[in-house]
Amino acid sequence: MLELKEVCFTIQKDGEPVHLVNHASFAAPRGHFMAIVGPSGCGKTTLLKTIAGLNPESEGSLWWEGRNLSEEGDLEPWEIGYVPQFSIAYDELTVDEAIEAATRLRVKCRNTGELDQRIDRVLEETGLAPIADRHIRVLSGGQKRRLGLAMELVSDPKLLLCDEVTSGLDPRSEREIVHLLHDLSRNDGRTVILVTHSLAHLELYDSILVSHEGSVAFHGPPSQLTHYFSVDDSEEVYPTLAKQSGTNWQESWEKHREAYYQKLTRTRELHIEAGIIKLPASEEPRGEEEEEAKKTDKKKKNETSPPRLPGIFSQFGTLLARRWKIFFRDRTQVLLQVAILLCFPVLVTFFAERGKEPIKRLSDIPEENIVLELQSRVEVREDQIRVGSAVSGMIMFEVILLALMGSNNAAREVAGERKIMEKEKFGGVRPVSYLLSKLAFLTCLILAQSLWMAMFVEFFWQFSGSFASHVSFLILVNASITAICLAISSVMKTPEQSSLLSIYLVGFQLPLSGAVLALPELFETITQPFVSAYWAWSGSIEALGGNIHTAVDVITETELSPGNVCFFALCAQTMVGIIVAWMGMVRHQWDN
């Protein structure tokens, strides 16, 4: 049984406490189908989220199967299913693939046969078997709501919470969803609670809870709804609610609650006796053979232990495989990545020809003619400026383009799927598994982009210094920008905000690096540690050595840092980005 005792959820508004859930008390037994109804903004979804544990109760207590959840912790992921109003699946996947991924993430199956059996059962239960191979993007609204239910049923939850899953559906689809939820509540004592503003199909519910201004105005049999509010039709309930405050309605309800609950209890007993509600074997009424039934039930309980969550690396493998599948099915993203790989290195090679020119050196033998010696020094200086500018510009161009690639890789990686991530976390997906899958996916992109850039440019411009060092700095600048943009994506509220901030980040890399225009010394000291482009450019120049290093040093007033310092600076930036990304993934951001 689910029971709420004087539960409040309170926020601060203008320095004053506001009860979004105001001392709510009600009970919903096993095998019960209940609707939470009320006008828009009355606190229906807030109440449902409080039951789910997404909103921590400020006062009161929640009980489930005799456990005080307020003291003993939230429900286990396999015990509860939460179906939000928004879509919780990727359009690129098929129905079967989405349910398989949900199963692999939430349930540890012993073998493939058990996995397939669980998937097939859910498909049949929700009526999705005929369209299992259909892509999600072509599903109707009603089919997507069924899919949302199916993805929650994979763990066979005993408490199923549904938030406005009938909203926006045509009357036929709404009726089908309500009938489906009714049927689900009749199996194995599952408690189903649906938040809806619709007052249609009341006869299918076991009880109706009417919410008004965060307070419980009524909770009883559907047949008693119009009687309690003294109206002729259920559609008149909402206008009647507006005549009094939520607190007044709740006080009135508390005076009559016991009488209506007695009717609920009697109706439930009749449904159990008639076999309409099928409870688990452990809760069925027992006759003279009670002791034997208890023994049988205990044996069954030992044989059918509750499902266990998969391990961290099992979840990681499922998430990574799904990410690659989504990537290759997104033609726009694939074409963009191919275009970047082909075009960006070509842009860099425009500088290659001037960067290969030899630099004249002063003769070790001093000129007897002072005019010739000065002329020779001027020619060397001109060569240094010309070649140094070309080499410095080419390396900085590589760095900035790779920074753009890193930004493109990660700017929307988390923010773009925030709701799905939060839903999967609620279902038992560990943030560390999610982070590892993102890092593995992005690492592949980083290596492909950076190595291709380095090898392509090397083909047209034979790198005179340590090519391995140059490649390592290109990989690191891509990694650091990718990690920082992943962090931005994990803490921003929307993908648009994340993309915009990531673009600004890359845009400021060039001027703040000091490679083009030297910064004021004080400003340079403050900004330089945070500019990835500076460390990658400086490290690559250091790797050139010899005359090229001297030539670049001639054309810039920015002091070059040693290669090992550049290496550790980029590694530090990458690690900071990963840590912040993990913190953002762990933080609860359901409403963002």
Please name which of 214, 103, 197 lies closest in space to residue 155, comparing C-alpha atoms: 103
Place of tokens 């670049």: 552
Nearest to 104 by CA among 467, 499, 437: 437
Pairing of strands 159-163, 80-83: parallel
Query: Ramachandran region of residue 178, left (φ > 0), alpha (ψ -120 to 50) or beta?
Result: alpha
Beta carbons within 10 angstroms of residue 198's beta carbon: 16
Q: Is 164 a catalytic residue?
A: yes
Amino acid identity for residue 203 in this structure: E
Instruction: Compute the distance between CA of residue 506 and CA of residue 574 in angstroms, rounded to an integer.
Output: 15
Residue identified by tokens 């939850």 is 157
Q: What SS3 state is found at 464? A: coil
Q: Which of 57, 92, 164, 174 is catalytic?
A: 164
User: Is the separation of the CB atoms in 185 and 31 below 8 Å?
Assistant: yes
Return the SS3 of 135: strand
Q: Show the DSSP H helices in 193-245 as ranges.
A: 225-229, 237-241
Strand-by-strand arrangement of the 159-163 sheet: 80-83, 159-163, 191-195, 33-37, 207-212, 215-220
* 3-state SS class at 347: helix
Separation between Cα atoms, residue 199 and residue 48, nearest integer Å: 18
End-to-end CA distance of the chain: 32
Closest CA relative to residue 325, chosen from 87, 99, 581, 101: 101
Can you tell me whether residue 72 is helix, strand or coil? helix
Distance CA(264)–CA(267), nearest Å, equals 5
Question: Catalytic positions, please?
Answer: 164
